Structure 1
């Protein structure tokens, strides 16, 4: 009998469970960074908000080269351990170290030195995060090939992601008063490294997916960017992630100054969003399998935009709690469909080119996702500068409070409108999607026959 890894059968439930567990540290590290890094450097260390915003905007340029380079390397890698897993094993510990240093600038530094510390550690953290997480993400279309399998595995991945996100956004206000920001960074870094190593150990790659000669760098990039469905998915991703990052980054400010929430109440509100999402995840997964990703995404985007609007009117914690629950219900749908759209684009590309190029596609997608942070930083800088927000004031002026409402409601809703416009134009749905799936099955069957011919002795 052939070994399951050899012939490319799906891995077992245990392996898939450990692979999916990589979503927990990817969310834990990234969401805590996205949610609190500006708050930590501006509100805690009292570094000028404009300077921090400039650094966060600048580091998006580094992402453009970083993600593309790692994705291209990954597609070209050929080892006995696979294309993706070696990078996960090699990068897990350096990622943990650089994450921890983000939250531990040496004492006694001047503001300029603190900014230089932020600049250097952000760049290093992002490189190792990309090295590990891009390769982990690129395994998803390879591990789960059929749409039904993908919807199921996406639900497991997103369950882990929600747990990681709850810990990332709700735990810090409870922990930093007890163990400090440096202790918080060490704790999250340790959890992240353990889960990433377990995920790399549990993942299974299909050797036949590495068959074929990869394109040279520029042709690979050019072919991907010329792919119209991919361009529309990119626009969807940047719009949705801009909404996520803006909402999560602004929420600590919004809860503190608009809702007058203490640290415990802020944690409870953030946790409520993701508890609601966790409860809704299975239902959205079933809808995605029944409706196809495009339709599910349109419904989820509309629901998310509608759920955000009461944040503009909320004046206390109780009103904010009801809105947070509604936002969480819609958030679950977006989390599922974002996992499913890009693998469809990669499948369609395989039909067109005969190559599996997850690394390049996830690399370009990674650029867009990280650029969302840069766009969010620009939005923060403009809103704070124009509304007179001052972290030294216990009570903010009315214009600053309206600016915070805009950041948690109006701008994320605008992101949903842009995403919906891109999804309306997305062509892989209905009969076109069915034809693509039929052609994909033929392409993969031919590749599998060439890679692993039938042994007459096993007949």
Structure 2
């Protein structure tokens, strides 16, 4: 059944489609659901994200280390992925299934527990899925192709997770939406897992001891500067997604039903632009191509400030799509180069630990996003949907344009410290 698709870019990208549909629905609407719909205060929402980050700091590297040390006849990564599927379904449903009448600290407790559970299981999936990329695809050209296909599937997932979600929760509620997405995730993820065949040689290579594995990771300067730069840009991804519903309501002043049109316009434009970036990156040094994508992304958020209707919002969203497409395609190629050079040095493939630590750095961007929401909310007086303050329009113009521009400016500045020698250390297979 899976013979022709074994380890193909399309079947690998199916895993991205599976995970990103519910993940995008989560990142785009959990703040809107808890803060705007249920009335959870921004302070409590930020506190929950902070507690999660402490937990995430511990579980990310450990899950990566354990994944690298796993040795079964089914591979290192697949057992973790398959085992996490039912737990992810349950955790996602719990996030959007708050009992009626729950308020204040009770609502905060539900949010915190559901968030910690969801993020822990999501970590297992993302660490093991990401660790497969540099193992299955070797060489910059092959990775550029695989990344472009993967990001094409990601755009489709983003489109479904953002544009279709308002239609679903309007029709069947947030709980019904979460059940539908959980089932879709399970079917697609099982198809992906059935198509993967891991590298036997990598599995049989003895792993580095715990302390040495982390010491080598901590000493890798290119790895740290690359991921720090990426984390600020990743913050913008999450911030844009989560602010769109607020932006539509308070800035564009369009009905909730039209949010789907706005999101669809933004993400549909990304699909052909992924191909443009694929052609660009094939002809460039990967680090320079990645830096160019960051610059384009920063410039693309400026027009969002000037939106004042559905039409102008759509036009600004299409421009964002160009920068977003570049940021989707370029980072996996640079990350793969960093892992290859580590393999040359240590003689061990440690995709799991690198993916895990990288994931922690980039996912800590969620805290930056939450803090930005809190600080800007305080400055303009926005507390929640029950108390939006005197100028919610300025609140969300700032959060969707000014803050992202500043974050990407930091990302571009840090990117100039990423130095990787040219070459093709890993042979294409």
Shorter-chain TM-score bucket reads over 0.9
User: In the alignment, which residue of structure 1 is the partner of 2:418?
Assistant: 426
Residue 394 of structure 1, CA deviation: 9.0
Kindly report structure 1 stretches of 4+ aligned residues shifted beyond 3 Å.
Answer: 11-15, 390-396
User: 1:54-453 residue pairs with structure 2 within 5 A?
Assistant: 54-392=47-385, 397-398=390-391, 400-428=392-420, 432-434=421-423, 437-438=424-425, 440-441=426-427
- Choose from 41, 58, 61 the match for 1:48: 41
Structure 1: stretches of 5+ with no match in the other structure: 1-10, 446-459
Moved more, 295-304 or 139-148: 295-304
Residue 12 of structure 1, CA deviation: 4.9
Deviations 1:322-344 (A, max 9, x none): 11001102211110012212111
* 3-state SS of paired residue (1:303): helix
Q: Aligned partners of 1:292, 1:43: CA distance in 2, in Å?
A: 44
Structure 1's 101 and 216: CA in aligned 2 closer, same or farther, altered over 3 A?
Answer: same
Contact 2:40 2:384 in 1 (8 A): no
Structure 2: stretches of 5+ with no match in the other structure: none
Residue 396 of structure 1, CA deviation: 5.5
TM norm structure 1: 0.89
Contact 1:88 1:197 in 2 (8 A): no
Deviations 1:32-57 (A, max 9, x none): 11111111011111121211121122
* 3-state SS of paired residue (1:25): helix
Q: Aligned partners of 1:57, 1:385: CA distance in 2, in Å?
A: 18
Deviations 1:114-137 (A, max 9, x none): 211111111111111111221111
Moved more, 270-279 or 358-367: 270-279
Contact 1:28 1:192 in 2 (8 A): yes
Q: Aligned partners of 1:102, 1:89: CA distance in 2, in Å?
A: 21
Q: Aligned partners of 1:318, 1:212: CA distance in 2, in Å?
A: 56
Residue 210 of structure 1, CA deviation: 2.4
Structure 1's 262 and 65: CA in aligned 2 closer, same or farther, altered over 3 A?
Answer: same
Deviations 1:216-248 (A, max 9, x none): 223211211210110111112211111111111
* 3-state SS of paired residue (2:252): coil
* 3-state SS of paired residue (1:107): coil
Q: Aligned partners of 1:286, 1:195: CA distance in 2, in Å?
A: 28
* Cα RMSD, aligned residues only: 1.9
Moved more, 148-157 or 23-32: 23-32
Contact 1:43 1:391 in 2 (8 A): yes
Residue 22 of structure 1, CA deviation: 0.6
Q: Aligned partners of 2:266, 2:76: CA distance in 1, in Å?
A: 36
Residue 314 of structure 1, CA deviation: 1.8
Residue 15 of structure 1, CA deviation: 4.1
Contact 1:174 1:263 in 2 (8 A): no
Moved more, 213-222 or 168-177: 213-222
Deviations 1:259-294 (A, max 9, x none): 102123221111111111111111211211111321
Q: Aligned partners of 1:99, 1:402: CA distance in 2, in Å?
A: 32
User: In the alignment, which residue of structure 2 is the partner of 1:449?
Assistant: none
